[in-house]
């Protein structure tokens, strides 16, 4: 019985419990198979976990190396442990890109949630002519690849004089997040009990007030899931800003978002080689995702996977 104890992580009492029961209840040969399988599965699982973690750690460590070290050997240990490289990356544009992304998302995510749930609520709870049609019209948008719209979208935004502007990108983000948001919140509002709604109306609340003060608070779990989904999706969006956020003239300032900026920094490496700054930039870009992920880990997983299943 030494093998299973070895593979079980120390300090974790859970695995030893079943091992004890196992020895009491099952015959010898079956126990042998269990041990082999346990070692086998832990081996593969640990291997994949290493394959996920090691490249990420390696990249972060590389930010502390010098250029020559990065080019020399992949596994040299970094020597200058100063955070200087991070402030250099921040000054070199990451700060601006970061800020641009935050400015866009501060508006686009709440607006997406607001407009998406307004439309979804009306479509889910009110009978009127064209309801089904409108619903399918919204949902159909989720099926088409964004590439189909790109060319006319560019000229549409250009005509509105919103190329390379925050408001343009915000509106486009909201519009492209609507299909999924409406779809998900529609399903969610349908599950809410009608009794509360009727009580609110009977008490004299207007429809608008019922929505904001009664129905929306009840839909909070759904809002959180879709909110996380939209935040991650818009934070990571690359194709739309690539097309819409290019400086239009010489004196038009760069308003790149983070994803665009990182790619930009990477492509500049051909001219001025400063890889530690690039890696520091990536590390800075990863930090908010890591924090959000670790603090809302369950909701993120549930939100993203339920998004697929619905």
Partner 1 sequence: MRKGQYRFVAGFLFIPVALYLIFVIWPYLQTFGYSLTDWKGQSQTFNFVGLDNYTALFQDDIFLKAIWHNILFLVFIPVITILLALFFAFMLNAGGRGRAGGVSGVAGSGFYKIVYFFPQVLSLAILAVLFGAVYRSDSGGMLNGFLMKLGLVDESGPVEWLNEPNFVLWALIAVVVWHGVGFYLVLFSAAMQAIPRDIYEAALIDGAGRAHTFFRITLPLLWDSVQTAWVYLGIAAMDMFILVSTMTAGEYGGGPDHHSEVMATVMMRNFLLYGKSGYACAMGVVMLLLTLIVSVVMLRATRRERIEF
Tokens of 24: 């009491």
Binding range to partner 1, per CB under 8 A, among 84-92, 185-193, 204-212, 247-255:
204-212
Site of tokens 């979804």: 120
Among positions 135, 273, 286, 299, the unique one binding partner 1 when judged by CB under 8 A: 286
Interface size with partner 1, residues (CB under 8 A): 110
Interface characters, 239-258, with partner 1 (x: CB under 8 A): x--xx--------------x
Query: Can residue 236 be called a binding residue for partner 1 (CB under 8 A)?
Result: yes
Residue 207 CA to residue 72 CA, distance in Å, equals 67
Residue 305 CA to residue 310 CA, distance in Å, equals 9
3-state secondary structure of 293: helix
Region for 11 from its dihedrals, namely left if φ exceeds 0, alpha if ψ lies in -120 to 50, beta otherwise: left
Scanning residues 52 to 111, which ones bind partner 1 (CB under 8 A)?
52-56, 58-59, 62, 70-75
Residue 202 CA to residue 263 CA, distance in Å, equals 56
Cβ proximity to partner 1: between 76 and 103 the closer is: 76
Among positions 78, 90, 107, 122, the unique one binding partner 1 when judged by CB under 8 A: 122
Residue 86 CA to residue 280 CA, distance in Å, equals 5
Scanning residues 129 to 158, which ones bind partner 1 (CB under 8 A)?
134, 137-138, 141, 143-145, 147-157
Scanning residues 181 to 200, which ones bind partner 1 (CB under 8 A)?
182
Residue 98 CA to residue 91 CA, distance in Å, equals 11
Binding range to partner 1, per CB under 8 A, among 8-16, 86-94, 185-193, 218-226:
8-16
């Amino acid at each position: 019985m030494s093998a299973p104890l070895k593979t079980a992580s120390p300090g974790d009492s859970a695995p030893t419990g079943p091992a004890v029961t196992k020895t009491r209840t099952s015959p010898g040969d079956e126990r042998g198979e269990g041990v082999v399988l346990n070692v086998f599965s832990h081996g593969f699982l640990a291997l994949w976990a290493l394959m996920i973690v090691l490249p990420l750690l390696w990249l972060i460590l590389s930010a502390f190396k010098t250029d020559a070290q990065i080019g020399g050997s992949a596994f040299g240990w970094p020597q200058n442990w100063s955070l200087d490289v991070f402030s250099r990356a921040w000054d070199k544009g990451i700060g601006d890109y970061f800020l641009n992304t935050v400015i866009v998302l501060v508006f686009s995510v709440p607006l997406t949630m607001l407009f998406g749930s307004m439309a979804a609520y009306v479509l889910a709870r009110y009978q009127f002519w064209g309801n089904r049609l409108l619903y399918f019209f919204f949902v159909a948008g989720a099926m088409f690849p964004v590439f189909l719209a790109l060319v006319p979208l560019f000229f549409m935004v250009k005509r509105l004089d919103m190329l390379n502007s925050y408001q343009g990108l915000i509106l486009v983000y909201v519009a492209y997040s609507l299909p999924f948001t409406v779809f998900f919140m529609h399903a969610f509002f349908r599950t809410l009990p009608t009794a509360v709604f009727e009580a609110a109306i009977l008490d004299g609340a207007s429809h608008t007030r019922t929505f904001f003060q009664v129905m929306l608070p009840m839909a909070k779990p759904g809002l959180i899931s879709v909110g996380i989904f939209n935040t991650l999706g818009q934070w990571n969006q690359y194709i739309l800003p690539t097309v819409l956020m290019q400086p239009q003239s010489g004196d038009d300032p760069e308003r790149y978002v983070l994803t665009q900026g990182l790619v930009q920094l990477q492509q500049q490496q051909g001219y001025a080689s400063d890889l530690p700054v690039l890696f520091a930039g990536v590390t800075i870009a990863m930090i908010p995702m890591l924090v959000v992920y670790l603090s809302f880990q369950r909701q993120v997983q549930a939100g993203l996977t339920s998004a697929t299943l619905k």
